[in-house]
Amino acid sequence: MENSLDINANTKIGALLEAYPQLEDVLLRLSPSFAKLKNPVLRKTVGRIASIRQAAEIGGVNLGEMILALRKAAGMESPPADESPVEEQQGAKLEWVNPDSVSLTFDARPVIDGGGSPMKDILEKAGQLNAGEILLLITSFVPAPIIELLNSKGFRCWTQNSDSGEVNTYIIRAVTTHLHSMM
């Protein structure tokens, strides 16, 4: 029986690996960041919500190249012509990003390194912010799924890679948000 899951920028990583378990090795060759997918907790939580577009951003991999490699390994044709590259979330520093104005800091690396998912903690901390307050989230990769989720709930996010390899994501509560609907 032929697999009917298409591989495109919006395909969820969990669905991809469920349909094509052999693609885990392809992901690992594309970026060492994907080694975290071997963790069953992260695979179940992040894999369920993270798309290939987000994974490319997390892993620092060109989206087009990633899709081509995955499709080829799955025996598929080249991707549709409308696949667009990952939009930069970093870019120029925004006017509200001020390290001296951080209200809360959360280093998610110990949770991730310990095999857990920090999503609930991040949402909890973001929910504690008042309008205009900033949460500094520290990770070892761009947390694209949580950024997308927070942006959809009225937060603004900006990421910055440090020389030491950590990724600092500044999260500001721009408007009144309703986090209970995110959990």
Task: Give me the mean pLDDT over the 54-78 stretch.
Answer: 84
Q: Is 170 found in the same domain as 117? A: yes
SS3 label, residue 125: helix
Pick from 73, 91, 115: which residue ends a domain?
73
Please give the Cα distance from 23 to 25 (Å, whole number).
5
Give how far Cα 5 sits from Cα of 54, 57, 99, 139, Å: 18, 22, 43, 31
Supply the pLDDT for residue 3: 65
* Confidence band for 181, pLDDT divided at 50, 70 and 90: very low
Q: In what order do the strands lie in the sheet with 155-161?
A: 102-107, 134-139, 167-173, 155-161
Same domain, 110 and 171: yes
Q: Which residues of 85-98 are buried (b: 16+ CB within 10 A; e: fewer)?
A: ebeeeeeeeeeebe
Q: What is the pLDDT of residue 81?
A: 44
Residue 3 lies in a domain: no
Host domain of residue 175 = 99-181
Both 121 and 56 in one domain: the answer is: no
Q: Alpha carbon 19 to chain centroid distance?
A: 21
Residue located via tokens 């001020």: 98
Q: What is the CATH number of the domain that holds 116?
A: 3.30.110.40
3-state SS class at 108 = coil
pTM > 0.85:
no
Non-local CB neighbours of 18 within 8 Å, separated by 6+ positions: none
- pLDDT at res. 38: 79
pLDDT at 137: 95
Number of domains in the chain: 2
Helices 144-152, 40-49: inter-axial angle, 10-degree rounding: 40
Percent of the chain whose predicted confidence (pLDDT) is above 90: 16
Considering the domain architecture, whether residues 119 and 171 belong to the same structural domain is answered as yes
Q: Does residue 7 form part of some domain?
A: no
Q: What is the pLDDT of residue 78?
A: 63
Phi, psi of 73 (to 5 degrees): -65, -25
